[in-house]
Copies of this chain bind each other. A is one copy, B any other.
């Protein structure tokens, strides 16, 4: 409650500020903005967790303790155990904890939730090391994505939720003159949360992809159960623990937010999702399970699944600036971002680059060189590529290579990492695929795999990218053109496939990045997911307006 006054204006003006990124300066991105010893303390904290029980949660009487996380940097088990609870116990506790919260005001909820972001801020370094050693992200990406950027997205959801809850007045007196008499009715309106929510997290962005659904379900008056990926529990466990502490400080039942852990061998995600008392589901992960969740009846389901992201190259001013940018976008976290580019469409006749024409082969060569340069640069490589979260991603590289209809023009190799010599790493593999072989390039090849498709011309490139986005989904699209008509054409076509375009990206900003208060992440309009971070639909589907009226 304490911080509410500070944020009241922010909340009230939320949508005016949103998309201009003018507020929320409380969380500077750079670690240097924090205490000198914050990083060392975070590292120390993380080391102390290893081979211990995670004991910060306020959830009582676990049925057992378990944990299967391993570090992609250490290629060793973390040995951290988490409390485990039966589905029925989780649901009955949610129900008990939910009633007070349901009948609390939007003001109270916003105050408590903003407070929790302040608490989480004090744990950014703990969360960063936890993220690094579960996801394989570099330290810097771990810090940014799971720390300030995740808090940004949570704050965005709180603000938009608060706005949605305040859209209609709480009461009005209605009077209808009827000749000599009049009818008077007192009307009241209330936003009632739909019921307990479930948030199913993923292994690569365990905080950034979880907090939007978590905070959206909470601000709209519902209890929530967080079910992380068994391989990346620790980062979000810290967030849940801090939320529980804030709840109890404000006299709410901490079971309002519960952590539900499972293992790969005994998953509980579907069992939870199918339970009649789960009314809201947020999910990030593979398309197969996501589509299964979307089919569940009587639940509001929000998904981020997989897409196939395209890059359309028509013409450029400075080919080196473009290829440095694209090579970095490919290399960043070894293609394990849902926004990473996979398919590069390049015309067979080459492209205009400044005053000259570059052949198709020369364009490809430039891309390959830049990808090699990043991976082989000992100062840049490890920090950009990070480590491979899942051993299956390494297997996918092998499988793709073995079954490829096409020509491999750059092999994937391990990336030397001085700090973590055992790290599981892989540089990008680049292959050329024929435009007619849509089967090869029309499914997501998660990880460091890039396909180059030679097209007849730019309209052909656009048609293929649009078709892929429409039928297979797309979360991002890169495009390069110096021609205004072509640019307009690309935007118009791709928006009909509900795909945002990053146009002419060069310099230190990449198509992989989607920021709160500014970028809608996953549009919700194509098969890559049915929801976006964060528009009104992301909030208003979690509650129901009920209006009572009484004759006065």
- B-side contacts of A491, CB under 8 Å: 548
User: What is the 8 Å Cβ interface bit string for chain A, positions 528-549, against chain B (1 contact, 0 not)?
Assistant: 0000100111001100111111
User: What is the 8 Å Cβ interface bit string for chain A, positions 1-28, against chain B (1 contact, 0 not)?
Assistant: 0000000000000010011110000000
- Cβ of A139 < 8 Å from any Cβ of B? no
Residues of A379-394 whose CB lies within 8 A of B: none
Asked if B535 and A540 make an inter-chain contact with CB atoms under 8 angstroms apart, the answer reads yes
- For this chain, the copies found in one complex come to 2
User: What is the 8 Å Cβ interface bit string for chain A, positions 492-510, against chain B (1 contact, 0 not)?
Assistant: 1011101111111111110
CA gap between A508 and B549 in the complex, in Å: 14
Residues of A230-247 whose CB lies within 8 A of B: none
Question: In this complex, which of A102, A294, A487, A550 has the most chain B Cβ atoms within 10 angstroms of its Cβ?
Answer: A550
- Cβ of A187 < 8 Å from any Cβ of B? yes
- Cβ of A268 < 8 Å from any Cβ of B? no
- Cβ of A46 < 8 Å from any Cβ of B? no
Interface pick from A70-78, A144-152, A423-431, A518-526 = A518-526
Asked if A496 and B544 make an inter-chain contact with CB atoms under 8 angstroms apart, the answer reads no
Q: Shortest distance in angstroms between A53's beta carbon and chain B's nearest beta carbon?
A: 37
Asked if A509 and B551 make an inter-chain contact with CB atoms under 8 angstroms apart, the answer reads yes
Interface pick from A164-172, A259-267, A444-452 = A164-172
- B-side contacts of A492, CB under 8 Å: 103
Asked if A545 and B535 make an inter-chain contact with CB atoms under 8 angstroms apart, the answer reads yes
- B-side contacts of A295, CB under 8 Å: 295, 297
Interface pick from A116-124, A126-134, A188-196, A403-411 = A188-196
- B-side contacts of A509, CB under 8 Å: 176, 183, 185, 551
- B-side contacts of A548, CB under 8 Å: 491, 495, 500-503
Q: Which residue of B lies closest to A279 (CB)?
A: B525
Residues of A190-206 whose CB lies within 8 A of B: 190, 192, 194
Q: Which residue of B lies closest to A552 (CB)?
A: B504
Q: Which 8 A-B pairs have the closest CB atoms?
A: A525-B544, A503-B550, A537-B540, A495-B546, A536-B540, A501-B548, A520-B545, A183-B509
Q: Could you name 27 residue pairs across A and B whose Cβ atoms are closer than 8 Å? A: A15-B168, A19-B168, A20-B169, A21-B174, A102-B496, A183-B507, A185-B509, A192-B495, A192-B525, A294-B297, A295-B295, A491-B548, A494-B546, A501-B549, A504-B550, A504-B551, A505-B551, A506-B551, A509-B551, A519-B549, A520-B545, A523-B545, A525-B544, A525-B546, A532-B545, A536-B536, A536-B540
